[in-house]
Structure 1
Amino acid sequence: MCSSCLPWKTLLLLSLAVLLADFTEIGALAGLSECESATIDDVNESLKKYSKCLPDMIAKGEKASINFLAWTLQEALDLLRPAQEQFCKQLTPCPRPVAPKNGGLVCVTIDSTQYCKPMCNKGYDFGFLRSSRLYEVCGNATGFSWTTQLIGGKALAVCNPSEMAISGAKSAYFPSNSTCVHTLASPEAQAEQLNIFLKEIAEQGIDVSVRDQGADCILCGY
C-alpha cells in the first residue's frame, strides 16, 4: 500500500505514531533537554522521513504499543487544536463561531463585521439548503450574535455524510483532493479559499479593501 493512498488526516496521525515510536523504543518519551532544543519543524521533518514506510510499520506494530500511541496522539491533538484557534483573531464581542465537523469556516472581518462561510469536505453535504445563503454574519447589525439556521447561536452549519453535494453553493465545498484540515496546513490553499470568499463578498457590494487582514482565518471542525 502506498502512503499517498491514505487520507491526509490518517497519514498525519500515523506519522506522529511512528515519530513517538522512536521515543518509546528507548523506554521513555523525550526528556526535558530534548524538548528544550526541539522545534515544530523538527517534528515535521520526522513526519516526512517516515511517510513512505508508514503502512508496513503500522501493520507490524503490537497492540499495546499502538494503543499507547493512540492515547498519546489524542493528548497531542487536544493541545494543538486550541493553539490553532489562537491564530484566528476574533471580533469582539461576537462569540467564536463553531465550525462544522467534517468541514470548516472561512472567515474575514470587514468594517467591524465578521463574515464566515461554512464549507463541507468531500463526501458531506449541509443539513439545510444553503445554495443562496453563502455566509453567516456577526456584528452591530445583528446585535453581535451570529445569523444561523441552527439552535445554539455558535454552530453555523452541519455537514452530514452524503454522496451528493447539492445543498450549498458550488464554492461551499473543499476540493475533492483536499479537506479543511489539509487546507489549513497549506498557506497557498488557505489563500485560495480566502480569495474566493473575498471575491464573492465583493460581488455583493461589500468593500473588501477595508478588511482587517489580520483577522483572515480558516477554522476546521473536529
Structure 2
Amino acid sequence: MFSSCLPWKTLLVISLAVLLAGFTEMGAFASLSECKSATIDDVNGSLQKYSKCLPEMIAKGEKDSINFLAWRLQETLDLLRPVQEQFCKQLSPCPRPVAPKNGGLVCVTIDSTQYCKPMCNKGYDFEFLRSSRLYETCGNATGFSWTTQLVGGKALAVCNPSEVAISGAKSAYFPSNSSCVHTLAFPESQGEQLDIFLKELAEQGMDGSGRDQGADCIICGY
C-alpha cells in the first residue's frame, strides 16, 4: 500500500490536492454538476493514480501556486475536521476532550464512564511523566469533568518534539511507521489500537461488559 511509505503530511497533500483541483476561489466546486455523481471512492481512485507523481509535481511548483494550494488545503481541513469529530460519540455531559497536537486519543466508554488514552506520534514525547498514568477519565465519579495534569480541563496531554520517548507507557506511542492521522485512515489500525487499550483496561480490573462499542473512537490533535 503506497500510503505506508510516505509521510502523513505528504499523503494529506496528495489526498486534498486532487479534491481541490476543481475548487473556485469561494471554496466550492467550479461546476456543481461535475460533483453531484462523484463519490469518495472516485476521489480515492484519483488519489491513487496521482500518488507517486504528485510529490514531485509539488516539489517543482512555483511559489505562488504552492502558497495558493496551501491556502486551499487549510480551508478544506477546516471543513473536514468538524466532520471527523461527529464520528466520535461523546459521553454527555462530559466535554469533548482535546487531543494533543502531534498525537491523539484512543477513547472508549464503559458503564457511563469515558476513558481516553493519550498517545504521541513518533518524534514526540509527553510534557509530563505518564508512565504510570495510562489514561484519563470522565464520568459521574469525576463530576463529569476530565481528570488531567493540565490547566483548562479539556486538553488531556501535550506532545512535545523529542528524540526519545520515555515519559509514557510503551503503548502510548503510535508505531514508528504510522501516526494518529494514518491510524485514523485505516479501520484495521484503529481496531488494533482500540484492542490494545481495552486489553490494558481489562488488566487493571476493568469489566468491559458494559462497553458502548458505538463510542469507540480515535481523535487526532491538530
The answer to whether the superposition gives a TM-score over 0.5 is yes
Change (3 A) 1:29 1:91: closer
Deviation at 1:95, TM superposition (A): 0.2
Change (3 A) 1:114 1:23: closer
Separation in 2 of the partners of 1:63 and 1:17?
16
Matched to 1:145, the amino acid is S
Aligned to 2:105: 105
Separation in 1 of the partners of 2:4 and 2:183?
17
Q: Any idea what the Cα deviations from partners look like across 1:55-114, whole Å, max 9, x if unmatched?
A: 321133232222222111111110111100100000000000000000000000000000
Matched to 1:73, the amino acid is L
Normalized against structure 1, the TM-score is what?
A: 0.92
Separation in 1 of the partners of 2:5 and 2:111?
44
Separation in 2 of the partners of 1:15 and 1:156?
29
Contact residue 3 and residue 55 of structure 1 kept, 8 A? no
SS in 1 for 2:36: helix
SS in 1 for 2:157: coil
Hey, which bits of structure 1, 4+ residues long, moved more than 6 A? none
Q: Any idea what the Cα deviations from partners look like across 1:125-172, whole Å, max 9, x if unmatched?
A: 000000000000000000000000000000000000000100000000
Separation in 2 of the partners of 1:38 and 1:138?
41
Unpaired runs of 5+ residues, structure 1, are none
What RMSD, in angstroms, separates the aligned Cα atoms of the two structures? 1.9
Contact residue 22 and residue 30 of structure 2 kept, 8 A? no
Aligned length: 218
Deviation at 1:35, TM superposition (A): 2.1
Aligned to 1:176: 176
Unpaired runs of 5+ residues, structure 2, are none
Aligned to 2:199: 199
Deviation at 1:8, TM superposition (A): 1.9
Matched to 1:218, the amino acid is I
Aligned sequence identity (%): 87
Contact residue 111 and residue 211 of structure 1 kept, 8 A? yes
Change (3 A) 1:63 1:18: farther
